[in-house]
Structure 1
Amino acid sequence: MYRHQRHIYDASRKFYLLGRDQLIAGLTPPPGGTVLEIGCGTGRNLIAIARAYPACACYGLDVSSEMLTTARQSVERARMSDRIVLRQADATAFDPQALFGQPGFDRIVISYALSMIPPWRGVVGEAVRRLSPGGELHIVDFGDQRDLPAPFRAVLNRWLALFHVTPRADLAAALDDAAQAAGARADTVSLHRGYATLAKLRRAA
């Protein structure tokens, strides 16, 4: 699907992938910390994260070789090849030590990827498992849409389906379950009348 879309992905998605910059502003990783983006796509977020937090090392994984080709080109253009490491991997099961030489991460980001991954709960569970002690998982994705006008909601969902996107209305509940299982704490915020959900899970130190 991304063989052709990757060339216009960032230009088109900036108008409706809301909350990404808000997520980045709230990361506040520790100095010298590590940040992983799961489903890094074109590298747009990782480049923004690297610029916002120059003391941190950034890593990205994606299952799409096409997207990673674009991401590597973008990272090179931004002159951040020494700051951002990219690898191809399945988000439901990956070995951070083998991929990146890291046992875990201080911050893990998932931005508008869960709505495109059928086994998305497995991705959440794997992300929590890969957090360092005291680490945080930050998620932004399409929300439950509960306060959006019904006609707009219907058109939005039909349009998203064309791109194989399924909003996860039960994301907050799933994150609460993952937090409880890991002895962590989760918080979710609804954005733009439920259009998007911004969530954070913090693992105990």
Structure 2
Amino acid sequence: MSGTADTARLMDSVYRRQRHVYDLTRKYYLLGRDCLIERLEPPRGGVVLELGCGTGRNLIAAARRYPDASFYGLDISRQMLETAAANIAKAGLAGRITLIEGDAANPAATEGTGVPAFDRVFYSYTLSMIPIWREALAAGAARLAEDGRIHVVDFGQQGRLPGWFRSVLFEWLKSFHVSPRADLEDELQGLARSIGAELRFKPLYRGYADYAELSK
């Protein structure tokens, strides 16, 4: 079985039941998601891609915030996409949000959309779950328009929080196959240099989360 198929099977097994309560529980500790959405600011008529869209929560919030933009969400878990489709339909946004089943690390995964490049690409608490997360970042950059931006929010290294909190949190996250990326900033700096972009990186909530923007 390929690595992509293995990852898809793992994510389906992790979220087969969790997807039904995912948004209710995650709102208490996936901090910074709404900050990211506020910072997206796509141009009028712009096209936005979320890699690792999960239940569609962020896509729905962003589509409501930016009624002049179109949104695409990609996820490797069919289980999550089923939940996302139901949530999007309930929100009355099926005409503005398109869902794609695919691997975030595969630049060709969005070819069927007919969108040559995206004005905004964002990752919300997904890089810590994607085994080949560096490849997923590179794939997002490959899909980015000439004057586009990449936005990232994810778990930080808890630098200004008590050591016991970090230990407990990281051990708990491990049970969900989540690994906060200690070298996220370094990886983004290297990616920015390779595509001629500027990086803005900011720890949030005393290092609980990291927020980044990469602007071409």
Q: Which of 161, 177, 199 is matched with 2:212 structurally?
A: 199
- Contact 1:125/1:178, CA 8 A, preserved across alignment: yes
User: For residue 122 of structure 1, what is the aligned residue in structure 2?
Assistant: 135
What 5-or-longer segments of structure 2 have no aligned partner? 1-13
Measured in 1, the distance between the counterparts of 2:172 and 2:43 equals 39
Q: Does 1:52 align with 2:79?
A: no
Q: Does 1:92 align with 2:122?
A: no
User: For residue 87 of structure 2, what is the aligned residue in structure 1?
Assistant: 74
How far the C-alpha of 1:144 sits from its partner, in A, is 1.8
Letter in 2 for 1:55: D
User: For residue 6 of structure 1, what is the aligned residue in structure 2?
Assistant: 19
Describe the SS at the equivalent of 1:95: helix
- Contact 1:107/1:135, CA 8 A, preserved across alignment: yes
User: For residue 48 of structure 2, what is the aligned residue in structure 1?
Assistant: 35
Q: Does 1:152 align with 2:159?
A: no
Task: Give the number of equivalent residue pairs.
Answer: 203
Q: Which of 180, 190, 198 is matched with 2:203 structurally?
A: 190
Measured in 1, the distance between the counterparts of 2:67 and 2:113 equals 19
Letter in 2 for 1:108: V
User: For residue 96 of structure 2, what is the aligned residue in structure 1?
Assistant: 83
User: For residue 10 of structure 2, what is the aligned residue in structure 1?
Assistant: none
- Contact 1:144/1:170, CA 8 A, preserved across alignment: no
How far the C-alpha of 1:94 sits from its partner, in A, is 3.3
User: For residue 140 of structure 1, what is the aligned residue in structure 2?
Assistant: 153
- Contact 2:76/2:101, CA 8 A, preserved across alignment: yes
- 1:174–1:200: structure 2 CA closer, same or farther, 3 Å change rule? same
- Contact 1:42/1:71, CA 8 A, preserved across alignment: yes
Question: What is the CA deviation profile of residues 13-66 of structure 1, one whole-angstrom value per residue up to 9, with x for unaligned ones?
Answer: 000000000000011110000000000000000000000000000000000000
Describe the SS at the equivalent of 1:61: strand
Measured in 2, the distance between the counterparts of 1:142 and 1:151 equals 16
Measured in 2, the distance between the counterparts of 1:23 and 1:71 equals 19
- Contact 1:96/1:103, CA 8 A, preserved across alignment: no
Describe the SS at the equivalent of 2:61: helix
Letter in 1 for 2:86: Q
Question: What is the TM-score of this pair, normalised by structure 2?
Answer: 0.92
- 1:73–1:170: structure 2 CA closer, same or farther, 3 Å change rule? same
Measured in 1, the distance between the counterparts of 2:109 and 2:146 equals 15
Measured in 2, the distance between the counterparts of 1:167 and 1:145 equals 10
Q: Which of 64, 82, 88 is matched with 2:77 structurally?
A: 64
How far the C-alpha of 1:118 sits from its partner, in A, is 1.1
How far the C-alpha of 1:169 sits from its partner, in A, is 1.3
How far the C-alpha of 1:96 sits from its partner, in A, is 5.8
Measured in 1, the distance between the counterparts of 2:112 and 2:23 equals 26
C-alpha RMSD of matched pairs (Å)? 0.9
- Contact 1:62/1:91, CA 8 A, preserved across alignment: yes
How far the C-alpha of 1:98 sits from its partner, in A, is 2.5
